[in-house]
Amino acid sequence: MRNKPRHEHWGSQIGVVLAVAGSAVGLGNFLRFPGQVVNYGGGAFMIPYVVSLLLVAIPISMSEWALGRFAGRHGYHSPLGMYYVASGRKRGWGIVGGMSMCVPFVIDMYYIFVEAWCLFYALKYLGGMLEPIGLGFTLGSGDFAGMRLGSGDEYERFFNATTGANQNGALFSRAGAPLLATTIFCVAINFLLVYRGVSKGIEKFSKRVAPLILLCALIMIIRVATLGNPLGRPGQSFLDGLGFMWNPTRDVYNASGEIIGRASVWTSLLNPETWLAATAQIFYSVSICICAVCTYASYVRPKDDIALSGLSATATNEFCEVVLGGLMAIPPAIMFLGSRAADGFSSSFQLGFIVLPNVFELMPLGQLCGFVFFFLLFSASVTSSMSLVLPVVAFFREAFRCSRGASVLLGAAIHLVGAFIVIWFTKGLTALDTYDFWFANFAPFLFAIFQTGLAAFVWGTAKLREEIALGSKIKPPTFLAFVVKYLSFPYLVVIAIFWASKNLKGRVLATMQDYVAQLSIGFFLLLLAFLFTLSVVTIRRWRAEGISDGYGIQTEKEDNSRS
């Protein structure tokens, strides 16, 4: 039975910009970016970062906007329909689009769990329970007394106990129940916001939360910048903190901690890993090719501007990352903990959930800052995770032609099955790490190659240029399509090959040796088989019915004449 939904659209241009920017702004901006800058040459890292922004982020994101709006105009809102219609209704491309749905599907399964950590920490700070005396109370163990203040031990133990990193199934015990309840709450609000629709749910929420994120970040930056040198120790002032992050030349230490030389700008720039890290960061940060941007763009009105909207969303994300993320996390860690805090900069989780709580403990008004910081992370995470729920819901609506409510329920049910693996197998956070590596790092690179190849070589640069220019309120550069085809695509392929050669073998071996990782991959293969079957069946039905529109509104003939 055909259930023909009416078309949805964004209410305003500002709304869509904030929603897309909100989708991109997340933990990567505030925790991953500063850590990467410190680890890959400070200020020198910014050169490959800006090059990647210009060659990868802006052109590929623009092509994703164009593909999305083109598909939306034909009534398709999921990547399945987008790949299918942009490729000239090729079955193979449609199936690739359908399979790319595994990315938002799986990322959301662990991302909402991390989102729940942020909310949980924010509530703990708000309730005044994330103090040394409160740790024993919170965990019910009472064995935290006498631990070194600011050593990281307390918060590391708190983090491990809270997230269940010590043993599997910990969240299903009495001690883990609060975080489990928080996780269920986060899943519910994500699906509820998507159920309310693009304009009434996602757009309204993004418009309210974006200023809140900015306000929280400004409070944090002002607090940090006005502290001076709080402990009065040499090398631990606000400027020293900034220098630790941004200085392009730095001392090189040997294994025993002695200075053995000084790395120059060129040392960083001539290291391929710096370029790899910069591209991966921009990729991760702008949320390219994880099906979020194209799905959001498919709800833009046919003649609305996408050039300015796309550029504004990327610019907003970059503002949050470089300006807010760059000033907020590292300087206070250096000011209060000194350079020993640098051990925690390589991992986002360690910086956010272990190093910074130590800093808040020592900082005047630290409890308030702790609440503001984790509430900021939570708000940014919700806007990101709901952008991953929408493609899933859109996909089911197209595949089953069911109502929004039914797709939301189906998406939530499958989500809970996959999320159960992450929530149960918490020991060492192995399941979460496995999902994170394969779906937030590997799969987006892979599907970016497919998507950029589709836009540049199958759909074609002429259509790409035409689509970007349609309704544009700024003059998009005419060479943009050329850049996508001859610079972004090869750059992406080279980086992906280099990245895979560096990381893939080790990860495959690690996955083969751990049963939890194997289970996670097993679930993924099942999901992939499900997506494949559903894509094949849906395309077959579209072809059998002779319709070209996702909702069966226009005929093949009409569509061809329009093209």
Partner 1 sequence: MTWGGWVSMTASLAIVIGLFGWCCYKLVVTRETQDADAPEESTER
Q: Which residues bind partner 1 (CB under 8 A)?
A: 5-14, 17, 42-44, 46, 49-50, 197-200, 239-240, 242-243, 245-249, 265, 301, 303-305, 308, 311-312, 315-316, 318-319, 321-323, 326, 404, 473-474
Q: Output the smallest distance, CB 245 to partner 1, in A.
A: 8
The structure tokens listed for 334 are: 């250096």
Q: What angle (nearest 5°) sits at the alpha carbon of residue 113, between those of residues 111 and 119?
A: 105
A 10 A CB-CB count for 146 gives: 6
Distance in Å, CB of 379 to partner 1, minimum: 19
What CA–CA distance (Å, rounded) separates 253 from 259? 4
Closest approach, Cβ 199 to partner 1, in A, equals 4
Query: Quick count: other Cβ atoms within 10 Å of Cβ 553?
Result: 16
For the chain, the maximum distance between any two Cα atoms, rounded to a whole number of angstroms, is 77
Shortest Cβ distance from residue 528 to partner 1 (Å)? 31
Q: Give the burial class of 386: count Cβ atoms within 10 A of its Cβ; 0-12 exposed, 13-18 middle, 19 or more buried.
A: buried
Q: How far apart are CA 502 and CA 488, in angstroms?
A: 21
Shortest Cβ 292–partner 1 spacing (Å) = 19
CA distance 335 to 490: 42
Task: Identify the DSSP state of 6.
Answer: P
Q: Determine the Cα–Cα distance for residues 335 and 282; give it in Å rounded to an integer.
A: 27
Nearest approach, Cβ of 303 to partner 1 (angstroms)?
7
| DSSP code per residue over 54-93 | IIIIHHHHHHHHHHHHHHHHTT--SHHHHHHHHTTS-HHH
Query: What 3-state DSSP class applies to 253?
Result: strand
Minimum gap (Å) between residue 197 Cβ and partner 1 = 4
Nearest approach in angstroms of CB 95 to partner 1 is 29
Q: Region of 336 please: left (phi>0), alpha (psi -120 to 50) or beta.
A: alpha
304 sits in which H/E element: none
CA distances from 287 to 4, 23, 509 (A): 31, 7, 27
